Amino acid sequence: MSDLKRTALHGLHLELGAKMVPFAGWEMPVQYPAGVLKEHLHTRAAAGLFDVSHMGQVILRGTGAAEALERLVPVDVAGLAEGRQRYAMFTNDDGGIIDDLMIANKGDHLLLVVNAARVDVDLAHLRAGLPGVDVEPITGRALIALQGPKAEEALVALNPAAREMRFMDVAEMDLAGATCWVSRSGYTGEDGYEISVPNTMGPRLARALLDNAEVQPVGLGARDSLRLEAGLCLYGADIDETTSPVEAGLAWAIQKVRRAGGAREGGFPGAKRILNELDNGAARKRVGLLPEGRAPMRAHTPLFATEDGAESAGEITSGAFGPSIGRPMSMGYVPVDLSGEGTTVWGEVRGKRMPATIAPLPFHKQSYKR
């Protein structure tokens, strides 16, 4: 794994007995000795600490940077208040998704957090699309996620200001001697924080959090089952350049001001298709699916409308066992006429068609502190 990048917490992972795997060009912990199931359940019961330093942090500076960024995303950036963060996606001319990201308004600049595997694509896209805006990739900072019902208590022990934050607030605060950029958000469906910390201070902050008996390290394995239970999309699996935000069920992220009739209607790549789908619906839709029985229905499982017919009903895009719901769960795209809750479709697993029921997302209730 010598050509892989290592995060500032690499030594800590090895010390904690992590199993390291290559992920998007990085050497990352997939699990610790506790294992994926226990790490998942611990996050839901107490607090999990995740190294997500592989994700891209990018600062945008310049007059009118927020207005300019609206040329690349279908969301309301100009109206995003200082100290707040919002989910967004870069769209392409076909209305597909180049990446999904978080945008934070930090007063004199915007902070973006993008997917590790898309950093290079995103940076080129930002530079080409935003002349006059300074696009600065941040490589000197680690990113630590602290997630779960005990996350607040654990962070408040380091700085009481953490208590005052609401879901999707962003703030700068001192933690374990480091100036950190903190957001109250995450990728597990739990309350929690994502903390950007200078690389040199990352291990110290992580150790300070892990000193709390409620906080256990959690790897990428459980991160995936947690986000899937929470109904959250994984870029490259559930969304990509061929899926539109409306098909993906992400219309909630497109504020009225950018929709047809809004003050800043359209003006982003793929607007024609996306605005049309917002009004008239898309032909297919991302849904939750609960396979019958215990066998997980994993990504790329083909779906059929009937047990023995040839009519396609789309494909599974993510699938795993859900530790908190105690059963397998999947997400996938199905034609709109088969997307109603309770509809049965059939996934072909090892040559056998197995029934799966369309189910509401999330599978596990989100518990954000709004």
Partner 1 sequence: MKYTEEHEWLDDADGIVTVGITAHAAEQLGDIVFVELPEVGTEVSKDDEIVVIESVKAASDILAPLDGEIVEVNDAIVEEPGKVNEDPEGDAWFFKIKASDPGQMADYMDEAAYKAFIG
Give 35 or 140: the residue with its C-beta nearer to partner 1: 35
CA distance 299 to 321: 12
The residue within the footprint of partner 1, chosen from 31, 85, 185, 216 (CB under 8 A), is 31
Per-residue contact track with partner 1, 203 to 242, x per CB under 8 A?
------------------x---x-----------------
CB of 122 to partner 1, least distance (A): 28
Residue by residue, DSSP assigns 316-340 as EEEEEEETTTTEEEEEEEEEGGG-S
CB of 295 to partner 1, least distance (A): 5
The residue within the footprint of partner 1, chosen from 255, 321, 353, 366 (CB under 8 A), is 321
Among the candidate windows 34-42, 59-67, 279-287, 303-311, which touches partner 1 by CB under 8 A? 34-42
CB of 300 to partner 1, least distance (A): 12
CA distance 123 to 243: 21
Give the interface size with partner 1 as a residue count (CB under 8 A).
Answer: 15
Using alpha carbons, select from 76, 105, 87 the residue that is nearest to residue 170. Answer: 105
The residue within the footprint of partner 1, chosen from 96, 328, 332, 347 (CB under 8 A), is 328
CB of 30 to partner 1, least distance (A): 8
CB of 205 to partner 1, least distance (A): 28
CA distance 24 to 220: 12
Q: Are 105 and 89 in contact (CB under 8 A)?
A: no
If residue 100 lies in a helix (H) or strand (E), which one and from where to where? Answer: strand 97-105
Per-residue contact track with partner 1, 183 to 202, x per CB under 8 A?
--------------------
Residue by residue, DSSP assigns 163-209 as GG--TTBEEEEEETTEEEEEES--SSSBSEEEEEEEGGGHHHHHHHH
The residue within the footprint of partner 1, chosen from 342, 350, 351, 370 (CB under 8 A), is 350
CB of 31 to partner 1, least distance (A): 7
Residue by residue, DSSP assigns 273-305 as HHHHHHHH--SEEEEEEEESSS----TT-EEES
Per-residue contact track with partner 1, 264 to 303, x per CB under 8 A?
------------------------------xxx-x-----
Q: Where do runs of H (alpha helix) occur along the chain?
A: 10-15, 36-45, 65-69, 119-129, 151-156, 202-210, 220-229, 271-280
**Residues at the site binding partner 1, with contacts judged by CB under 8 A:** 31, 35-38, 221, 225, 294-296, 298, 320-321, 328, 350
